Amino acid sequence: MSATQKQYFGTDGIRGTVGTAPITPDFMLKLGWAAGKVFAQKGGARNKILIGKDTRISGYMFEAALEAGITAAGVDISLLGPMPTPAIAYLTRTLRAQAGIVISASHNAFQDNGIKFFSGQGTKLGDDIELAIEEQLDQNVSTVPSQKLGKASRIGDAAGRYIEFCKSTVGPTLKLTGLKVVVDCAHGSTYHIAPAVFEELGATVKAIGVKPDGLNINFESGSTSPARLSEAVLEEKADLGIAFDGDGDRVIMVDDKGNIIDGDQILYVIARDRRRQNIDFGGVVGTSMSNLGLELALDALNVPFVRAKVGDRHVMSDLIKHGWRLGGESSGHIICLDITTTGDGIVSALQALASVVHCEKPLAELCSKMKKFPQTMINVKLSRDVDVMNNSNVQAAVAAVENKLGRSGRVLLRPSGTEPVVRVMVEGEDKALVAQLAQELSEAVAAEVDKA
């Protein structure tokens, strides 16, 4: 059985709308049981799985369902409560658990939810484990004898453990004294952690997006909606702003002028500081969506750069393949493999702040050596299953656009993995030309879709 035969697991766990299969309580109970069975077979005398969640209202329901299923399979549970996704990866590894489960739909609205798994090493599960869990889902749920039922307990100091870990990633001497920072937690799982991390390191912190009510996660806030953060930075006359998404694995920043600093720019700042300190990190893995400006700026630093498919799983795969330790996406999902095992918004923000302190320069100046190329992306809807990628007329239209851009631009056509659309992206030096060419190319693609 191959990864392409998986029925439920996608590129980042299982995700969907609450109440619509498979994001239902009955499925979650069975998923917990199936995962418990798989890990019980691989474990020793007593097994343990950690469960954490973000702040959306449905998390309580799914936590209870997973708990019932896992304990029925004879596996113990440690409940972490609301915690960032990377915190669960860290705690799974340091508490020697067999696996960690995150109940979260990341940057999605509260109506969605999902499940992500981490291995005992704090990494995403391999295809073989996901397939084994799916095979168990085809079986009927059975309960172990009462004396073998799993037990549930709560880890009361989970947040404190993770705060200390985050602080440790910048060494024992770094201080953020003198920096005024606005932190937007998107009413998500970093609300009780991120402000404390920066305050304990000495920064003056103005926290926003820290009043979760179960329904406001990611709503007009956080890394997917950074306009409010830009306004707050200017209002507070802060040195910079930091925005996380609902589960804390992404970060977007804002400089003192209110300009948004995306994941590509943050990645450049981190790479530049590592190069300045002569830290060997190999090279940088971006994605097909990474800005051309990042590639050129890294080239000027003599830092190797490769592009992976979109998605942190693909970035991680290429990092391992090349033996490199730094990668990420423009969305702000950044992986520092020399520090932790997965994308971590707080850790990534701290690496950028460390550069600000080390270099004694504002964030805007640290980003200035990377010239972002204008990008325009247009989604072309697919009403049916049409293979536009291999369409000769589309290929001719792409070639024509590439010819007009010359060597200072890129064209990317990418079918979405989550929506019935083809993403048409054009990138180049001239903003007006880029917008015009993207419109022309999207119309050419739409015309071929209509013909099919």
pLDDT tens across 62-93, in order? Answer: 999 999 999 999 999 999 999 999 999 999 99
The two three-digit tokens of residue 346, written as one number: 């707080």
Residue 239: partners with Cβ closer than 8 Å, 6 or more residues away: 179, 180, 181, 256, 356, 362, 363
Q: Are 107 and 250 in contact (CB under 8 A)?
A: yes
Tens of pLDDT, residues 190-230: 999 999 999 999 999 999 999 999 999 999 999 999 999 99
pTM of the complete model: 0.93
State mean pLDDT over 273-292.
Answer: 96
What φ, ψ does residue 278 adopt, rounded to 5°?
A: 60, 35
246 contacts 217 by C-beta, under 8 angstroms: yes
Which residue of the set 104, 106, 225, 230 is catalytic? Answer: 106
Q: Average pLDDT of 327-334?
A: 97
Please report the pLDDT score of residue 389 as a whole number. Answer: 86
How far is Cα 70 from Cα 30, in angstroms, rounded to an integer?
9
Whether the pLDDT of residue 232 is over 80: the answer is yes
Q: Is 383 a catalytic residue?
A: no
Same domain, 217 and 182: yes
- Helix spans in 21-149 (H): 25-42, 58-72, 85-94, 127-137
CATH number at residue 220: 3.40.120.10
Please give the pLDDT value at position 388: 83
Domains held by the chain: number:
3
Once rounded to an integer, what is the mean pLDDT over residues 428-432? 95
Please say whether the beta carbons of 413 and 388 come within 8 A: yes
Q: Give the residue carrying structure tokens 């995700």.
A: 15
Token look-up 């640290």 returns: 366
49-63, 328-342, 352-366, 401-415: least confident range? 401-415
Strands, sheet with 326-328, edge to edge from the N-terminal-most edge strand: 305-308, 284-287, 326-328, 334-336
Same domain, 247 and 331: yes
Given the structure tokens 């409560």, which residue do they identify? 81
Range of the domain at 207: 164-367
Residues 349 and 446 in one domain: no
Model pLDDT, residue 416: 78
Average pLDDT, the chain: 94
Q: Are residues 146 and 253 in the same domain?
A: no
Please report the beta strands in 120-208, taking only residues with DSSP state E, as ranges in sequence order.
152-154, 180-184, 204-208
Closest CA to 287 of 371, 375, 398: 375
Per-residue pLDDT reduced to its tens digit, 137-165: 999 999 999 999 999 999 999 999 999 99
User: Last residue of some domain: 124, 156, 188?
Assistant: 156
Please indicate, yes or no, whether residues 363 and 379 belong to a single structural domain of this protein. no
Q: Note the helical H segments in 301-430.
A: 312-322, 345-359, 363-367, 392-405
From 196, 193, 29, 12, select the one nearest 102 (Cα to Cα). Answer: 12
- At residue 407, the pLDDT reads 84
Edge-to-edge strands of the sheet including 112-119? 14-17, 112-119, 99-103, 48-53, 76-82, 152-154
Q: Report the distance separating Cα 47 and Cα 36, nearest Å.
A: 9
Closest listed residue to residue 322, CA positions, set 373, 350, 374, 283: 283
| The two three-digit tokens of residue 284, written as one number | 């940088």
pLDDT band at 1 (very low <50, low <70, confident <90, very high): very low
Assess whether the previous peptide bond of 374 is cis (omega < 30° from 0): no
Question: What is the structure's pLDDT at 42?
Answer: 76
pLDDT tens by residue, 336-382? 999 999 999 999 999 999 999 999 999 999 999 999 999 999 999 98
* The two three-digit tokens of residue 111, written as one number: 């109506």
Pairing of strands 334-336, 326-328: antiparallel
Residue 384 confidence (pLDDT): 67
Residue 64 sits in the same domain as residue 113: yes
Mean pLDDT of 295-316: 95
pLDDT at residue 428 tops 50: yes
Which pLDDT score, from 0 to 100, does residue 133 have? 96
Q: State whether 289 and 332 are in the same domain.
A: yes
> What does the alpha-carbon distance between residue 313 and residue 315 come to, in Å, rounded to a whole number?
6
Counting Cα atoms < 13 Å in the Cβ hemisphere of 300 gives 10
For the chain, how long is the longest CA-to-CA vector? 72
Give dist(CA 106, CA 248) in Å, integer: 8
pLDDT (0 to 100) of residue 12 = 82
Domain boundary among 139, 156, 173: 156
**Among 123, 138, 156, residue at a domain's last position:** 156
Phi, psi dihedrals of residue 54, rounded to the nearest 5°: -90, -160
For the chain, the distance separating the N- and C-terminal CA atoms, rounded to the nearest angstrom, is 33
**Residues near 198 by Cβ (< 8 Å), separated by ≥ 6?**
176, 181, 183, 205, 242, 353
CATH number of the domain that 381 lies in? 3.30.310.50
pLDDT > 90 fraction of the chain, expressed in percent and rounded:
89
Whether residues 239 and 322 share a domain: the answer is yes
**CA-based Rg of the chain, rounded to a whole angstrom?**
23
What pLDDT sits at residue 386? 74
